[in-house]
Amino acid sequence: MRFVQNVKFAWRNLWRNKRRTLITVASIFFGVIFSTLMSSMQEGSYQMYIHTIVNSYSGYMQVQHPDYWADKTVNNTIEYNDTLRILTAKVSDITGVTPRFESFGLASGNEITQGVVVLGIEPKTEDAITQLSSKMVAGQLLRPNDNGVVIGQRLSGLMNLSVGDTLVIISQGYHGVSAAGKYAVKGILKHPSPDLDRSVVYMTLHVAQQLYSAENRITSLVVMVANNAMVEPVAKHIEHIAGRGCVVLTWQKMNAILLKQIESDRAQGYIMKGILFMVVGFGIFGTIMMMIAERKREFGVLMAIGMQKSKLSIVLVYETVLIGILGVMVGFVGSIPVVAYFASHPIQLTGQAADMITQMGFEPVMPFSTDASVFVSQAAVVLIFCVCISVYPVYRISRLKLMDALHK
């Protein structure tokens, strides 16, 4: 009951000087909006990067031979046994799996030779994860029994190949045997990764295994889950099922460089938001200082009629915190529709910025995130500032002398 009375008392005091309160709330309002937009834009970009990488190549995790990630040779492959084939049935949180046989080779066509990445896939399950069919620009995606290949658009341009032409691949197979084959180009796709687009050659899994003399072996089993929160528990479950001959690499381990770049960019964002909130914080602090100076005689009168310093200090703390809460709430009301609009209408990049993003393999847009953490973090920072600033009026009241206050 006393708490409610103190809050009501503090709320009335705020509106005794409406101009001062509104100016302070406005500074918090703009600080919250700018900070929320900055955070939303950053997190939206990170989510786009992760989504593109996960859904275009790596998946959320991959089951591999323990030595394959460090030494990507066909000798470091794993057997595609029944345990891995029915992994989806054994782990309910898995939304999709697809096996791959990946290696390198020398491709030749139309008297042009080019180093390539050979990817043996199961077309149906691969398409469910990486949506290869939506990336086709000519021909068609491989069918389960096809003996041909699908190549990247840039590779087709480098080698002057089109649908129906013949591609010869030479490489080294399992345990050092020779690997060579001649395949018809069944289709051409545009891969989001420029590096893969200029080097990738897709063929069905059984054709790749035959080419490299690696029957029933794969280099990796790509695993998808519903969201990022499930990655770690599912990875541990798979490792337990697969046994000692396999390891599970999460997308974080496979994309360590990207994560470092994200953390570096996020740190820069913290610095910018820190400067912004420092300005807001000094604005709140200036308001509290003026409030204390203007109301010094009022405090003396309250103390003279019997109000304890501790209760007076509590009321002033409530006033400071209420200003912060009011500013945050108004900031939320203003920022939510703006963020929601940009989340559904991402900013389209043009010119050199668009070219740079495209060269990195990402869509040339500036997306925004509507994740709850984007909004909650701003509220937390403002309230922490207000709590810290509330120490000042408590200190001034504790040092206030009754006679000095009454003779102001």
Does pLDDT of 381 surpass 70? yes
Higher-confidence residue of 8 and 248: namely: 248
Enumerate residues 6+ apart whose C-beta is below 8 A from 28: 280, 283, 284, 323, 324, 326, 327, 328, 330, 331, 382
pLDDT in tens, 110-163: 888 999 999 999 999 999 998 899 899 999 999 988 899 999 999 999 999 999
What six digits make up the tokens of 116? 């390539």
Does pLDDT of 408 surpass 70? no
- Are the CB atoms for 190 and 196 separated by under 8 Å? no
How high is the pLDDT of residue 259?
A: 85
Task: Using DSSP bridges, classify how beta strands 112-121 and 136-139 pair: parallel, antiparallel or unpaired.
Answer: unpaired
Mean pLDDT to the nearest integer, 375-395:
83
- Are the CB atoms for 280 and 29 separated by under 8 Å? no
Helix axis angle, 18-53 relative to 256-294, nearest 10°?
A: 180
Task: Using DSSP bridges, classify how beta strands 112-121 and 200-204 pair: parallel, antiparallel or unpaired.
Answer: parallel
How high is the pLDDT of residue 361?
A: 64
Task: Using DSSP bridges, classify how beta strands 178-189 and 112-121 pair: parallel, antiparallel or unpaired.
Answer: unpaired
Half-sphere exposure of 197 (CA within 13 A, CB side): 18
The pTM (predicted TM-score) of the whole model is 0.76
Hunting for tokens 């989806």 — which residue is that?
88
Domain boundaries defined on the chain: 2-53+258-406, 66-245
How high is the pLDDT of residue 223?
A: 92
Return the sign of the alpha-carbon dihedral for residues 360, 364, 370, 373.
positive
Q: At 107, is the pLDDT very low, low, confident or very high (cuts 50, 70, 90)?
A: very high
> What mean pLDDT is reported for the chain?
86
How high is the pLDDT of residue 92?
A: 81
Mean pLDDT to the nearest integer, 99-112:
91
Does pLDDT of 165 surpass 80? yes
Mean pLDDT to the nearest integer, 277-292:
81
Does pLDDT of 407 surpass 80? no
Please work out, in degrees rounded to the nearest 5, the angle formed at the alpha carbon of residue 368 by the alpha carbons of 367 and 373: 145
- Are the CB atoms for 366 and 347 separated by under 8 Å? yes
Which of 354, 259, 366 is CA-nearest to residue 40? 366
Q: At 265, is the pLDDT very low, low, confident or very high (cuts 50, 70, 90)?
A: confident
State percent of the chain over pLDDT 90.
26
How high is the pLDDT of residue 148?
A: 92
pLDDT in tens, 288-331: 888 777 777 877 777 788 778 888 888 888 888 888 888 888 88
How high is the pLDDT of residue 300?
A: 76
How high is the pLDDT of residue 258?
A: 81
Mean pLDDT to the nearest integer, 154-173:
92
> CA dist 376 to 224, 268, 384, Å?
29, 19, 12
Enumerate residues 6+ apart whose C-beta is below 8 A from 378: 32, 35, 36, 39, 328, 331
